[in-house]
């Protein structure tokens, strides 16, 4: 039976905002880096998939943080896969401080795409070949919520540039999150209060496109929708502080 795998991290100066606490995006980057490292170590990372012209893409992600750790704080991310489906695989995470106190949780759902056609691939074979990687423990938080509609009260535009693009040649997850959170009041962003963020990817956004970011601001919460040149929703997300 597989067990959770643990990876050490430290909050470095480039990871914090002016409150000297880790940003949501830096914690999210550590979470997604952990997914990549763990998949690589278990034999189904992008290096193996790329040889067959396939790659992992993030479909949905939910993150919960009770607090954001301060600069130079050591912490550990534990990760495990709880299930494989034909379309999506679920990978989970918990974040704990040096004293063993859990301060964060995340649930991610991944699809596999063919890099030539940019279409989804049946990933049943991964479940068959790597069934021994599944850990018999449920997700530590509610799975990512779908945001079905957003009614923007404010919008902004962003042209996709080189620094926005990841190894799959589409916009990096944390760049989307930064674009959206940058639309909110700084007083809300710097609250030291528990928060949850859900993000759902519908279509890819590529280099050179102009993105329209819509924000529906609510009390201590917001919904977002990002669309590209064709006006079709590519990303929807929600964030709330408790």
The pLDDT tens digits for 38-59 are: 888 877 666 666 666 667 789 9
The whole-angstrom separation of Cα 73 and Cα 21 is: 9
Quickly state the pLDDT bin for 133 (edges 50, 70, 90): confident
Tell me which architecture the domain covering 1-144 has in CATH.
Answer: Roll (3.10)
pTM comes to: 0.91
Residue 129: the pLDDT is 66
Instruction: Compute, in degrees rounded to 10, the torsion defined by CA atoms 24, 26, 32, 38.
Output: -130
Residue 75: the pLDDT is 98
The whole-angstrom separation of Cα 71 and Cα 47 is: 32
Q: What residue segments make up the domains of the chain, in order of their start?
A: 1-144, 145-242
Tell me which architecture the domain covering 145-242 has in CATH.
Answer: Roll (3.10)
SS3 per-residue string spanning the chain:
CCCCEEEEEECCHHHECCCCEECHHHHHHHHHHHHHHHHHHCCCCHHHHHHCCEEEEEEEEEEEECCCCECCCEEEEEEEEEEECCCCEEEEEEEEECCCCEEEEEEEEEEEEECCCCEEECCHHHHHHCHHHECCCCCCCCCCCCCCCCCCCEEEEEECCHHHECCCCCECHHHHHHHHHCCCCHHHHCCCCCEEEEEEECCCCCCCCEEEEEEEEECCEEEEEEECCCCCEEEEEEEEEC
> Which of 66-75, 93-102, 118-127 is predicted least confidently?
118-127
To the nearest whole number, what is the mean pLDDT of the chain? 91
- Asked if the domains at 1-144 and 145-242 fall in one CATH topology, the answer is yes
């Amino acid at each position: 039976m597989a067990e959770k795998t643990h990876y050490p991290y430290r909050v470095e100066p480039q990871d914090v905002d002016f409150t000297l606490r880790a940003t949501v995006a830096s914690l999210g980057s550590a979470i997604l880096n952990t997914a990549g490292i763990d998949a690589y170590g278990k034999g189904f990372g992008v290096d193996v998939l790329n040889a067959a012209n396939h790659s992992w893409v993030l479909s949905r992600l939910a993150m919960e943080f009770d607090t954001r750790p301060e600069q130079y704080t050591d912490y550990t991310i534990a990760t495990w896969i709880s299930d494989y489906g034909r379309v999506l695989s679920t990978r989970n995470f918990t974040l704990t401080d040096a004293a063993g106190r859990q301060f964060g949780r995340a649930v991610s759902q991944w699809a596999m795409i063919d890099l030539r056609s940019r279409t989804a691939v049946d990933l049943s074979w991964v479940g068959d070949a790597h069934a021994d990687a599944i850990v018999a423990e449920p997700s530590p938080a509610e799975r990512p919520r779908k945001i079905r509609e957003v009614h923007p009260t404010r919008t902004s535009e962003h042209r996709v540039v080189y620094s926005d693009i990841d190894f799959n040649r589409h916009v990096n997850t944390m760049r989307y999150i930064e674009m959206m959170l940058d639309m909110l009041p700084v007083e809300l962003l710097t609250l030291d209060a528990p928060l949850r963020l859900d993000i759902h990817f519908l279509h890819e956004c590529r280099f050179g496109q102009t993105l329209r970011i819509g924000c529906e601001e609510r009390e201590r919460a917001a919904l977002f929708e990002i669309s590209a040149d064709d006006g079709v929703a590519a990303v929807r997300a929600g964030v709330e502080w408790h």
